[in-house]
Amino acid sequence: MKKEIEIVLEKLEGFENPKLFLEQYVTPSNLAAFIVTNAKLFGDLETVVDLGCGTGILAIASAILGAFAIGVDVDIEALRIARRNAKKLGVEVEFVACDVKNFEVKKKCTVIMNPPFGIQKRHADRAFLEKAFEIAEKIYTIHSAGSEEFVKRTAEKNGFLVTHVWKFLIPLRKTYSFHEKPFEEIAVEVFRIERKNSVSWR
């Protein structure tokens, strides 16, 4: 299942003019496929909110596996591409243009996100985590390596528990001119987090 999804996701368009201040990078399709197939196995793929969805890969991947998916981003240009991407693959995703801090949803949901790492703007990922803790029962989130303590502590403070940490090296395409090599590898950590009082698989 993972491989098939990965191949389909390869067809998606990325950012046209990535905006540095928004830290726009596309999640590699193999990582997106890994996350959604795991989420599906854990039974976490009913209503999915992709905070900072960019060109939509995580929301679209969730929709492919049957989720009711919502993508949220401040960048209208990115959302235009995301809509085109969803259409291309024939899946329904609801895209919402707003800052994550103003986003609200009524249903219980799973947040799947690749937030800004806070390299340009320190702690840019904090607002994303705060919103996820506010709206989600389960959270899948990608952070730069070395975030484990911070994520665990923040989860704990908000009544959540980190159940899994997966480590990956992902190739970062040379999207911005300050990168010298065409590709560089960066180490990332993917977390599965759940609300403590939610009924769990364990």
List residues near ligand SAH by CB under 6 A.
Answer: 22-27, 50, 52-55, 57-58, 72-75, 78, 99-100, 114, 116, 127
**What is the nearest approach in angstroms of ligand SAH to the Cβ of residue 106?**
19
Nearer to ligand SAH, 114 or 154 (CB): 114
Beta bridge partners of 109: 136
Please give the structure tokens belonging to residue 15.
């950012």
The least CB distance from residue 139 to ligand SAH, in Å, is: 14
In the bound state with ligand SAH, the residue whose beta carbon lies nearer, of 45 and 100, is 100
In the complex, least distance from residue 161 CB atom to ligand SAH, rounded to whole angstroms:
24
Q: Which lies closer to ligand SAH via its Cβ, residue 47 or residue 56? A: 56
**Closer residue to ligand SAH, CB minimum distance, 32 or 155:** 32
Distance CA 5, CA 37 (A): 9
Which of 145, 198 has the CB closer to ligand SAH? 145
- Asked if 158 and 198 touch (Cβ cutoff 8 Å), the reply is no
Q: How far is the CB of 56 from ligand SAH (least distance, A)?
A: 7
The sign of the CA dihedral 178, 180, 182, 184 is: negative
Report in angstroms how near the CB of residue 151 gets to ligand SAH at its nearest. Answer: 17
Q: Are 189 and 143 in contact (CB under 8 A)?
A: yes
Q: Which two tokens stand for residue 199?
A: 């009924």
Alpha-carbon distance values, 116 to 100, 119, 126 (Å): 12, 8, 9
- The residue whose two tokens read 């994303």 is 128
